[in-house]
Amino acid sequence: MPPQQPRHTGAGAGAGHHSIQLPAMLARPHYFEVSPGAIEAVSPELAGVSPEYIRRSLRSEAPQMLAGISALAPSHLPTILPKSHLPGALSIPVRSSSPSPRSFPTHVVAVSSTKTASEHCMIFPIHALVLAAHCAHLPAIPPAQSQHASQSLVRLPVLPFALPSPPAFGIIHNFIYTHRLEPVFRSLLPVPAGFFQSITHETVLDTLNARETCMQLSAYLCSQEQGDLQKLTTHAVHVKELWQNMVALGIYSPDLWDAVDLAWRIIIGALAIAARNAN
């Protein structure tokens, strides 16, 4: 599914001939639940189980799954690979003190860009069930290899797909395991340290409904970047890239969408402050 274009409302973030026009909001796509067939294809035992129930259950299993990812030998896990020479699978050694084989990732995704002619893909180890439970728009996932406790390495099929921003997939990769919003904000823009003390979905919603708090966060961001319109616009680009990836993958987690809305609102406010000060 191609990313929708943001609705331009004429919100200005610049002055004179250098005005930067950005939408006041980033549009959300229509909701589509993930495919039960995709979940069943990667975990046949979950046929007929509610996707929402699966997502809730995966949260409790996330620490073990992340430990399984960490057990892969970094020396044999590339971060990028040439797009023209992607292998069908990667064989990666695991540490001797590794967790249960059930915790190991099942695949690696090779993410290329739909926007640039880059010759490389970014590589992320992943559990197919986590991907299928959170993303409504996915290519067919190749079958996973059986893993055994006696194995000293795992063989992970490669799943290639293209997104508007391969680097922004790193934010999504972390979120669909942990559902923590702090890393999302830290990846997108500077906010006061105290804001992270107890950031939850409820915190984000409360902040979205508190105009004064949003203005304070915008003023903080503008101050941190010394009113530099180019730096502030770079933050906007990063949020837009995350948004485009979410649309392309069909991710409909309300907490992540609301976090994107808040980050965008803070940046738009900061750009408006910087533009006024520039005059």
DSSP 117-148: --SEEEEEEE-HHHHHHH-SS-PPPPPPPP--
| Overall average pLDDT of the 216-242 stretch | 97
Confidence band (pLDDT; 50, 70, 90) for 146?
confident
Q: Exposed/middle/buried for 206, CB within 10 Å: 0-12, 13-18, 19+?
A: exposed
3-state DSSP assignment of residue 110: strand
Residue where one domain finishes, among candidates 163, 186, 209: 163
| 34 closest CA partner among 246, 244, 252 | 252
157 and 172 belong to one structural domain: no
Residue 14 has pLDDT above 60, yes or no: no
| 106 closest CA partner among 143, 149, 75 | 143
144 and 126 belong to one structural domain: yes
Alpha carbon distances (Å) from 166 to 106, 146, 169:
20, 28, 5
Domain that holds residue 62: 33-163
Contacts of 147 (CB under 8 A, 6+ apart): 101, 102, 104, 154
In a domain, 3, yes or no: no
208 and 148 belong to one structural domain: no
| Overall average pLDDT of the 211-233 stretch | 97
C-alpha 46/C-alpha 61 separation (Å) is: 15
Contacts of 195 (CB under 8 A, 6+ apart): 185, 217
43 and 116 belong to one structural domain: yes
Domain count, the chain: 2
| Overall average pLDDT of the 20-28 stretch | 87
* Pairing, β 153-163 against β 107-113: parallel
Residue where one domain finishes, among candidates 144, 163, 182: 163
